[in-house]
Amino acid sequence: MSKRPTLKLPGQAPQKSPPTSGTTNSTPLPRRGDVLNYVFLFAREAQAGRDEGVKARPVMVMAVVGRRVTVMPLTTKGDDKPASSLAIPAPVASAMGLGGNTGSSLVPGELNAFEWVGHDLRPIDKTGSFLFGRCTPGFFATALDACLHIKPLSRD
């Protein structure tokens, strides 16, 4: 049995967390605002017949209900940036673990939902962590407001 990646911030010592309630899975549930490395499936890719995203990218956790996690994609290089994208200010991008990338934005018109721990999470580095960082509370509220009525694409 392989060890699952732990959820921790870059530069932070691993945390010993109790198992998630009702399971033997020792990877703690993410929190709203966490920025994870995840293979995101865009709606246009699903419509073209794909069942897997093209690449791993940062995503922000928008909701956690039980073990169901809903995420919104981030763009960091200007790719896949629709007109409805939400620019991420440099200080927020830095807090999110994106290095203050000024070209980053959120795509509120796209959401994926999956059961934690999903097979589309990808470790960022040799520590096995897939957590980039956390969104600031104020910007999270802005992002949440932008996507309140979006129906997530089920990944299960």
- 97, part of any domain: yes
pLDDT in tens, the chain (156 residues): 444 444 443 333 343 333 333 344 578 999 999 999 999 998 888 888 888 888 899 999 999 999 999 999 998 776 555 667 888 998 999 999 987 666 889 988 888 999 998 889 999 888 888 999 999 999 999 999 888 756 665 666
- 8, part of any domain: no
- 85, part of any domain: yes
pLDDT at 109: 84
Domain that holds residue 103: 34-154
pLDDT at 23: 40
- 90, part of any domain: yes
Distance CA 146, CA 37 (A): 21
- 19, part of any domain: no
* CATH classification of the domain holding 44: 2.30.30
pLDDT at 44: 86
- 128, part of any domain: yes
Distance CA 131, CA 146 (A): 23
99: left (phi > 0), else alpha (psi -120 to 50), else beta? left
Q: Are 81 and 107 in contact (CB under 8 A)?
A: yes
pLDDT at 82: 61
- 5, part of any domain: no
Q: How many domains does the chain have?
A: 1
